[in-house]
Each structure stands twice: as structure tokens, then as C-alpha cells.
Amino acid sequence: MRLTVFALFFALNSFVTVDGVAEHRPLLPRPQKIQYGSGQLPVRGLKIRLVSPPAGEDLFAAQELSRILSQRGGEPVLVEKETGPGVATGSTITLERTGAVDALPVPGEEPGPRSRESYRL
């Protein structure tokens, strides 16, 4: 299952810039490959948008991401709970669950890019 919600939570919590100074913290789970770019994502006016009907875990992740970004960036980051297709305006982090809510790995589950815990940024 690809769960963008948690990916963005860990990714943005790992390298949010404040006053132009980047902090480097490891991503969890550890990605197989990282390629850093020179882009920036301004926190001012940033929104978090859920596009699939959110489970409790999704709302929790979105609210935690909002709290951390708001605290570190000094600007409020709102969570839009309206779901469904549509065009996001402005700077938006879009969270979309693409699989079932499974709390724990099952016996014999293999890690890797095709596992349900994989993510992309």
C-alpha cells in the first residue's frame, strides 16, 4: 500500500526549512534512494488537502503534519477535510490513501518498493 499521508508527514518533518536553514534528518522508513533538488515549498498559504475519504489515521497524520509545519514555519497550515476530485489552488500538499488501513505488517510481508509501506515524495 502506498500511503502518501505518512510519507509526507515524515518527509516534510525531516527537511522543512526555517529562515532558509535546512535541517537534515533521516527519513523513516529509510528510502532506497534520495535525490535532493533545489526547490522550496513556502509555508505561508500552504494547505493540506485530503482527496480520499479519510480514515482516523489519515486525519491524525494530516493534523500532525499541519501542527509541525505551522510550528516550524510560524504560519498556520490548514487541513482541508473536503474530499473528492478537484483542482487544488495555491501551495497544497495533497494526501491520498491508495490502499486499505492495515495497522500492522502481516507474517511473510516483504519490504521494498512494492510493499504496502512504500511511499513516494
Alpha-carbon gap, residue 28 to 10, rounded angstroms? 7
Apex CA 33: angle with CA 9 and CA 92, to 5°? 35
Maximum mean pLDDT: which of 6-10, 31-35, 84-88: 31-35
Model confidence at 42, in pLDDT bands (50, 70, 90)?
confident
Residues 50-80: tens digit of each pLDDT: 988 888 889 999 999 999 999 999 999 999 9
Q: Which is more confident, 6 or 58?
A: 58
Q: Which residues pair with 3 in a beta bridge?
A: 97
Amino acid type, 20: G
Residues 28-41: tens digit of each pLDDT: 667 677 788 888 88
Alpha-carbon gap, residue 21 to 47, rounded angstroms? 22
Question: Contact, 51 vs 107, CB < 8 A?
Answer: no
Would the pLDDT of 114 be above 60? yes
Q: Which is more confident, 69 or 1?
A: 69
Q: What is the mean pLDDT of residues 91-113?
A: 79
Model confidence at 1, in pLDDT bands (50, 70, 90)?
very low
Question: Contact, 25 vs 58, CB < 8 A?
Answer: no
- What is this structure's pTM? 0.60
